[in-house]
C-alpha cells in the first residue's frame, strides 16, 4: 500500500475517532438531568440539549446557530445577561439564581468558560424557591403572631434559661423593658419558694420536648404576684435549643375560685347553724342544692333540684315579680337581693318566705352562681295582716258611729246655745232640760255601742 493510501486511511481513522468522540460527548450532554447549552464568543448557540428544549420550550433546530440575545432579548435586563458577560469577559465561572418572567419560573444557573465560549448548565428551582418563599412567609407570620399577640409570649434558652425573645404584650404585662428582659432568666420571674417546683417542670419539659401546660406563680417588676397558665413547646431558635412559651394570666380567675371556695365554706357552716332553707344555684348547669331546711320548713324530701323545680313552686302571682328582680340583679351586676314571695309546700299549701341571696360573677362579668337563704315569715305576715284588718275594721266602726254621734251631739249643742241666750226665762230653760237629757242619753247609748263593737273586734 502506498504512502498516500496509508495517509488517507489514517485521516479517515482520525476523523472517525473524532466523530465517535463527539458522539460520546453528545450522549453525555443529552443524558444530563440539567438543561445545558453552549455559546461561542459571539454568543452564537452551538449546542442545546433536550432538557434545555423541555425547560425553555425551544426546539434545538430553532436556536442552534442563532444569537442568544436576539432570541432571548427579554433576558437582557436580567442577571442572565450581566452574569454571562462577566463570566465571558473575566474567564471565570459564575453561579446564580434568577426569575425568568416569560415562563414564570426560577432558574439556577452555573456557567463555565469553555474554549472561547461558555458552557451553561441550568435547572428549574421554582418548587424549591416557592418552598423557601413559603417558609419565609411562615416565619414572618410567626414573627407577626409573636410580636402582635395580645397574650404575653417569650422564648428562652433551654440550657442557660436566658430570655432570647420577648413580645410587646409580655413587656407591658410584666413591667420590664426589652433590654431588662434580655438580661434576665426565667428564674427572675419566679418566687424563691417556687424554685423546686420550677426545676421539676423544667426537667419534665426537657425530657418530653413536647407541648406542655402548667399553672404557676410569677412576679411582676412592681412585686405583684400573679397566677399564670404557662403553655410551651420546644423549638429551635437561632440555632439554639429553646422553648416558646405563652402566658395566660389567671389571677382574677384564681381569686374568684378562692372567693367561691370561701363562700362554699361559709355556706356549709351556715347550713348547719340555721333552720332556714339554704340553697345553692349553679347558674351554668341549672342545678340547685338545698340544705335540710327544704324538708323542715316545706316538707320536700330532697337535697337537690333544678331551677325549673324552684320556679314551679313559686306562687304564680309572685313569679313574674321575682324573676324581674333576679334579672335586674344580674343585668346591673349587683350582688345582693332580698325578695318576699310565696313558696309551695309538699302538701300544696303556701308559705310566705323572705329570700336573701347573693350572686357570684366570673372575671368576664357573667353570673355563675347564686346562694340564698329562705326564711319562713308566714307567722309574721299573718300578724301584720291581722293588725291591718283590725285597723281597717276600727276605722270602719269609727266612720259609721261618728254619724250616729253627730245627731244627739248636735241637739245638745243646740240646746246649750238656747240656754246661753240672755233673754231666755227660767220657765223656758226648764222646758229644755228634758230635751237635753234625752239627747244625752241617746249619745250615751251610741258610745256604749261603739265600745261594745270595738271590744268584740279586739277580742
Check whether residue 218 and residue 286 sit in a common domain. Answer: no
pLDDT digits (tens, 9 = 90+) for 311-322: 999 999 999 999
| Range ranked top by mean pLDDT from 278-287, 407-416, 446-455 | 278-287
**Gap between the Cα atoms of 95 and 117, Å rounded:** 16
Q: In what order do the strands lie in the sheet with 105-114?
A: 45-48, 35-39, 117-124, 105-114, 94-100
For the segment 28-49, the average pLDDT, to the nearest whole number, is: 85
| Range ranked top by mean pLDDT from 175-184, 214-223, 239-248 | 175-184
- The pLDDT value given to residue 252: 85
- The pLDDT value given to residue 260: 64
Q: What percent of the chain has pLDDT over 70?
A: 74
Residue 139 in any domain: the answer is no
Average pLDDT, the chain: 82
Q: 273 or 168: whose pLDDT is higher?
A: 168
Q: Given 110, 125, 140, which residue is the final one in a domain?
A: 125
Residue 28 in any domain: the answer is yes
Check whether residue 244 and residue 270 sit in a common domain. Answer: no
Residue 214 in any domain: the answer is yes
For the segment 419-446, the average pLDDT, to the nearest whole number, is: 65
Check whether residue 9 and residue 103 sit in a common domain. Answer: yes
Domain interval for residue 324:
260-376
Check whether residue 339 and residue 372 sit in a common domain. Answer: yes
In the predicted structure, residue 85 carries a pLDDT above the cut 90: yes
- The pLDDT value given to residue 296: 86
Q: How many domains does the chain have?
A: 4
In the predicted structure, residue 77 carries a pLDDT above the cut 70: yes
**Gap between the Cα atoms of 260 and 368, Å rounded:** 10
In the predicted structure, residue 179 carries a pLDDT above the cut 90: yes
In the predicted structure, residue 129 carries a pLDDT above the cut 70: yes
Residue 144 in any domain: the answer is no
In the predicted structure, residue 209 carries a pLDDT above the cut 50: no
Residue 143 in any domain: the answer is no
Check whether residue 52 and residue 79 sit in a common domain. Answer: yes
In the predicted structure, residue 246 carries a pLDDT above the cut 60: yes
For the segment 334-360, the average pLDDT, to the nearest whole number, is: 92
| Range ranked top by mean pLDDT from 32-36, 196-200, 409-413 | 32-36
Three-class DSSP labels, the chain:
CCHHHHHHHHHHHHHHHHHHHHHHHHHHHHHCCCEEEEECCCCEEEEECHHHHHHHCCCHHHHCCCEHHHHCHHHCCCHHHHHHHHHHHHCCCEEEEEEEHHHCEEEEEEEEEECCEEEEEEEECHHHHHHHHHHHHHHHHHHHHHHHCCCCEEEEECCCCEEEEECHHHHHHHCCCHHHHHCCEHHHHCCHHHHHHHHHHHHHHHHHCCCEEEEEEEECCCCCEEEEEEEEEEEEECCEEEEEEEEEECHHHHHHHHHHHHHHHHHHHHHHHCCCEEEEEECCCCEEEECCHHHHHHCCCCCEEEHHHHHHHECHHHHHHHHHHHHHHHHCCCCEEEEEEEEECCCCCEEEEEEEEEEEECCCCCEEEEEEEEEECHHHHHHHHHHHHHHHHHHHHHHHHHHHHHHHHHHHHHHHHHHCCCCCCHHHHHHHHHHHHHHHHHHHHHHHHHHHHHHHHHC
| Confidence band for 387, pLDDT divided at 50, 70 and 90 | confident
- The pLDDT value given to residue 239: 86
Check whether residue 31 and residue 117 sit in a common domain. Answer: yes
pLDDT digits (tens, 9 = 90+) for 255-305: 877 776 676 566 657 666 677 888 989 898 888 988 888 888 999 988 788
Least confident window among 155-159, 350-354, 451-455: 451-455
In the predicted structure, residue 123 carries a pLDDT above the cut 90: yes
Q: 152 or 418: whose pLDDT is higher?
A: 152
C-alpha cell recorded at residue 297? 320548713
For the segment 398-411, the average pLDDT, to the nearest whole number, is: 62
- The pLDDT value given to residue 134: 86
Q: Given 376, 397, 418, which residue is the final one in a domain?
A: 376
In the predicted structure, residue 34 carries a pLDDT above the cut 80: yes
Residue 140 in any domain: the answer is no
For the segment 361-377, the average pLDDT, to the nearest whole number, is: 88
| Confidence band for 213, pLDDT divided at 50, 70 and 90 | confident
CA terminus-to-terminus distance, the chain:
169
- The pLDDT value given to residue 155: 93
pLDDT digits (tens, 9 = 90+) for 191-208: 988 887 777 777 665 544
Residue 437 in any domain: the answer is yes
In the predicted structure, residue 29 carries a pLDDT above the cut 60: no
Least confident window among 4-18, 55-69, 142-156, 190-204: 4-18
Check whether residue 340 and residue 422 sit in a common domain. Answer: no
Of the candidates 301, 172, 194, 170, which has an alpha carbon nearest to the alpha carbon of residue 244?
170
For the segment 394-417, the average pLDDT, to the nearest whole number, is: 63
Residue 131 in any domain: the answer is no
Check whether residue 363 and residue 413 sit in a common domain. Answer: no
Check whether residue 154 and residue 115 sit in a common domain. Answer: no
**Gap between the Cα atoms of 170 and 218, Å rounded:** 12
In the predicted structure, residue 161 carries a pLDDT above the cut 80: yes
Check whether residue 238 and residue 272 sit in a common domain. Answer: no
For the segment 350-374, the average pLDDT, to the nearest whole number, is: 89
- The pLDDT value given to residue 401: 58
**Gap between the Cα atoms of 310 and 313, Å rounded:** 5
- The pLDDT value given to residue 145: 80
Check whether residue 167 and residue 244 sit in a common domain. Answer: yes
Check whether residue 42 and residue 113 sit in a common domain. Answer: yes
Check which CATH number belongs to the domain holding 351 and give it.
3.30.450.20
Beta bridge partners of 227: 217
Q: Which residues of 84-102 are buried (b: 16+ CB within 10 A; e: fewer)?
A: beebbeeeeebebebebee
Amino acid at each position: 500500500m502506498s504512502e498516500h493510501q496509508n495517509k488517507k486511511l489514517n485521516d479517515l481513522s482520525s476523523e472517525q475517532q473524532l466523530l465517535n468522540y463527539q458522539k460520546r460527548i453528545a450522549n453525555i450532554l443529552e443524558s444530563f438531568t440539567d438543561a445545558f447549552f453552549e455559546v461561542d464568543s459571539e454568543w452564537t448557540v452551538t449546542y442545546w440539549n433536550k432538557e434545555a428544549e423541555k425547560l425553555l420550550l425551544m426546539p434545538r433546530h430553532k436556536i442552534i446557530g442563532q444569537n442568544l440575545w436576539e432570541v432571548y432579548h427579554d433576558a437582557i435586563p436580567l442577571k442572565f445577561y450581566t452574569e454571562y458577560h462577566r463570566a465571558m469577559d473575566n474567564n471565570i465561572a459564575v453561579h446564580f439564581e434568577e426569575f425568568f418572567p416569560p415562563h414564570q419560573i426560577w432558574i439556577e444557573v452555573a456557567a463555565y468558560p469553555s474554549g472561547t465560549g461558555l458552557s451553561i448548565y441550568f435547572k428549574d428551582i421554582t418548587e424549591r424557591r416557592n418552598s423557601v418563599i413559603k417558609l419565609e412567609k411562615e416565619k414572618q407570620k410567626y414573627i407577626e403572631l409573636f410580636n402582635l399577640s395580645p397574650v404575653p409570649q417569650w422564648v428562652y434558652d433551654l440550657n442557660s434559661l436566658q430570655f432570647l425573645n420577648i413580645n410587646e404584650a409580655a413587656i407591658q404585662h410584666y413591667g420590664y423593658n426589652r433590654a431588662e428582659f434580655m438580661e434576665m432568666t426565667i428564674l427572675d420571674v419566679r418566687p424563691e419558694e417556687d424554685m423546686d417546683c420550677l426545676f421539676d417542670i423544667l426537667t419534665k419539659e426537657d425530657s418530653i420536648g413536647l407541648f406542655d401546660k402548667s399553672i404557676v406563680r410569677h412576679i411582676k417588676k412592681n412585686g405583684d404576684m400573679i397566677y399564670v397558665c404557662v403553655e410551651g413547646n420546644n423549638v429551635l431558635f437561632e440555632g439554639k435549643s429553646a422553648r416558646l412559651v405563652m402566658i395566660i394570666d389567671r389571677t382574677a380567675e384564681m381569686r374568684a375560685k378562692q372567693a367561691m371556695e370561701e363562700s362554699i365554706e361559709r355556706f356549709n357552716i351556715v347550713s348547719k347553724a340555721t333552720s332556714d332553707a339554704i340553697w345553692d344555684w349553679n347558674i351554668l348547669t341549672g342545678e340547685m342544692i338545698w340544705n335540710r331546711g327544704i324538708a323542715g320548713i316545706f316538707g320536700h324530701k330532697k337535697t337537690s333540684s333544678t331551677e325549673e323545680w324552684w320556679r314551679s313552686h313559686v306562687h304564680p302571682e309572685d313569679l313574674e315579680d321575682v324573676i324581674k328582680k333576679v334579672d335586674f340583679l344580674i343585668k346591673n351586676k349587683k350582688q345582693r337581693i332580698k325578695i318576699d314571695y310565696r313558696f309551695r309546700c309538699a302538701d300544696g299549701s303556701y308559705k310566705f318566705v323572705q329570700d336573701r341571696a347573693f350572686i357570684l360573677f366570673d372575671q368576664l362579668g357573667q353570673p355563675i352562681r347564686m346562694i340564698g337563704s329562705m326564711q319562713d315569715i308566714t307567722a309574721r305576715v299573718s300578724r301584720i295582716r291581722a293588725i291591718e284588718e283590725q285597723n281597717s275594721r276600727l276605722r270602719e266602726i269609727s266612720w259609721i258611729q261618728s254619724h250616729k254621734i253627730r245627731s244627739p251631739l248636735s241637739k245638745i249643742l243646740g240646746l246649750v246655745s238656747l240656754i246661753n241666750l240672755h233673754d231666755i226665762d227660767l220657765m223656758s230653760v226648764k222646758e229644755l232640760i228634758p230635751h237635753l237629757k234625752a239627747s244625752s242619753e241617746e249619745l250615751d247609748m251610741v258610745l256604749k255601742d261603739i265600745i261594745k263593737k270595738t271590744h268584740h273586734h279586739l277580742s
